Structure 1
Amino acid sequence: MISLLTPSHWKDYELIDCGDFEKLERFGDIILIRPEPQAVWGKQLPQSEWQKLHDIRFKGRSATSGEWIKKNPKTPDRWYINYANKDVNIKLRLALTSFKHVGVFPEQAVNWDYISESIKLFKTAEPKVLNLFAYTGGASLIAKAAGADTTHVDSIKQVVTWANENQELSNLQNIRWVVEDALKFVKREIKRGKKYNGIILDPPAYGHGPNGEKWKLEDHILEMMQDVSRLLDEEEHFLILNTYSLGFSSVIVENLLKSTIQNPQNMETGELYLQATAGNKLPLGVFGKVRRV
């Protein structure tokens, strides 16, 4: 089944408008203007409204780096937001980074709901969940809060430290933190005979491991999917694959799932997007997921 999915109940996040390669969004009480390469259409709100509403604007020196310009110098560089659904509640620290990110990808909230829902459906008392390319840990926190034995893997030590801080803010503990190249970690887990009830993959289009290992989505995703399929528990499992690459479609993700997972059940593929209050939709990657319960 092909679906279009967007978060619908997050009080601390709002996409206000997007267009002209920018997005206007609220995180808690702070409103940001950030670059958005997908927003090739025009804005719905007038530029004067954008200027009036925003607190901080990202001014890029390149496609990926730049500086934040504050209207009020007293606006904090760090602040906090909450996320809750019917099963879990987590808290996240946000911060202004030089790469236009703030520590969370809001469209992933749809996957967070799927994670907590899946864990609650499992008969396994403490299902094991593996989060690969795990960033600052939103999905890891959700899995842990829902009752899973959770392993968080990312190649960048600073973001794993950030994720650990989010764990403390969320009054959680005992997530297993791993700073390592995701593909190398998966291959070692196979050798160890490990199995997981849930696996989450949100790989970048390009990336590097802690020892300079190169990751390119189209070159390595098939090998990664073949390997993680060997880690899935045969009786109860879910797997989420999310890709943010202009060259990937939901049909590609569907083919990957069908070719690497034996007898995939409850398969769903589609596109994640954010619904702007102003009326337009911002596409933010394609996803695929399977679940056996």
Structure 2
Amino acid sequence: MADIQLITPASWDQYELIDSGDFQKLERFGEYVLARPEPQAIWNKSLTDTEWERQAHAVFRRDRQSPERGDWQTSPDMRDPWYVSFKQAGLNLKFKLALTNFKHVGLFPEQADNWAYIYRKIKAIASNVPQPRVLNLFAYTGGASLAARQAGADVTHVDAVKPVISWARENMDHSELDNIRWVVEDAVKFVRREVRRGNRYNGMILDPPAYGRGPDGEKWVLEEQLNDLLKSCADLLDRDDFFFIINLYSLGFSSLILENLIGQTFGKVPNPEWGELYMDDASHKRLPLGVFYRFASV
């Protein structure tokens, strides 16, 4: 099993996992430090509560009536939104960050290693395919789409939430990129239609949530629908020049589940890598942030 160490704070000066524990994490995004819930940080904090309070510019407080929603308490000098850059591995990207009532800020920094992987694979595939076609499903605010576009790919970005698509488009503009195809649609419906049309993609990226709703109320339940979705994705992936990435952040899902699903769906794949995504905090505690599987023809 490939256990991938992500790009560390030392090589990405715009992000740092400062501490984790007591079901929370303390992170620095650019000039601001945030404290927010993290269900997998079941150990104790390394820093004191006083130190967390001293450092944090914004603290997320859950709504007692909702397990998902909440509000941010911010310091008077904090701007919202704000911006961070990612300049590594040939990439030069800029992201808008904002405080949402679902605790997210529009960026998942643990995906940085996948952005670098996408960039490398597209550059390698381009020796055979002048402009590789890439499909990003459940694409959120578009970090992977931006990486693919900057590498020269023809990118289709699919997400069911229109405001998220607008956010991704802003990130494209801030990164001085263009010509990403934006699709507001249920991912399952889109993939099935592309299969019927006989389309193919050189790269596919999936980052599905545990639960979700499409723009017309379509229900998504990861463990019930992932198997069928992967089968459709196998029909879309180019047979000669390709890469494939799937990430899951769902408690209880292991990388072994992905290994079994990929093996059944795609058969023996070239250059497989799979394992846990994690980030080290400053006290060297490893915070798990999901599982992944990826493979490529090059």
TM-score calculated relative to the size of structure 1: 0.98
Give the structure 2 partner of residue 128 of structure 1.
Answer: 133
Cα offset, 1:191, TM superposition? 1.0
Is it true that 1:52 corresponds to 2:54 in the alignment?
A: yes
Q: Contact 1:129/1:149 (CA < 8 Å) preserved in 2?
A: yes
Cα offset, 1:256, TM superposition? 0.8
**For residues 133-181 of structure 1, what are the alpha-carbon distances to aligned partners after superposition, in whole Å with 9 as ceiling and x for unaligned?**
0000010001000110000000000000000011000000000000000
Which residue of 13, 28, 31 maps to 2:30?
28
Unpaired runs of at least 5, structure 2: none
Aligned-residue sequence identity (percent) comes to 53
2:3 match: secondary structure? strand
1:53-202 → structure 2 map (5 Å cutoff): 53-61=55-63, 62-70=66-74, 72-122=75-125, 123=127, 124-202=129-207
2:119 match: secondary structure? helix
* Cα distance in 2 for residues equivalent to 1:87 and 1:177: 24
Cα offset, 1:5, TM superposition? 2.9
Q: Contact 1:180/1:210 (CA < 8 Å) preserved in 2?
A: yes
Cα offset, 1:87, TM superposition? 1.4
Cα offset, 1:276, TM superposition? 0.6
Give the structure 2 partner of residue 287 of structure 1.
Answer: 292
**For residues 91-115 of structure 1, what are the alpha-carbon distances to aligned partners after superposition, in whole Å with 9 as ceiling and x for unaligned?**
0000010100000111111111110
**For residues 64-97 of structure 1, what are the alpha-carbon distances to aligned partners after superposition, in whole Å with 9 as ceiling and x for unaligned?**
1111101x32311100000122211110000010
**RMSD, aligned CA:** 1.0
1:207 match: secondary structure? strand
Cα offset, 1:290, TM superposition? 0.9
1:239-278 → structure 2 map (5 Å cutoff): 239-278=244-283
Q: Contact 1:242/1:286 (CA < 8 Å) preserved in 2?
A: yes
* Cα distance in 1 for residues equivalent to 2:114 and 2:24: 24
* Cα distance in 2 for residues equivalent to 1:114 and 1:49: 36
1:2 match: secondary structure? coil
Is it true that 1:226 corresponds to 2:226 in the alignment?
A: no
Is it true that 1:6 corresponds to 2:10 in the alignment?
A: no
Q: Contact 1:17/1:279 (CA < 8 Å) preserved in 2?
A: no
Unpaired runs of at least 5, structure 1: none
Counterpart residue type for residue 291 of structure 2: V
2:141 match: secondary structure? coil
* Cα distance in 2 for residues equivalent to 1:266 and 1:246: 27
> Greater shift after overlay, 124-133 or 82-91?
82-91
Cα offset, 1:11, TM superposition? 1.3
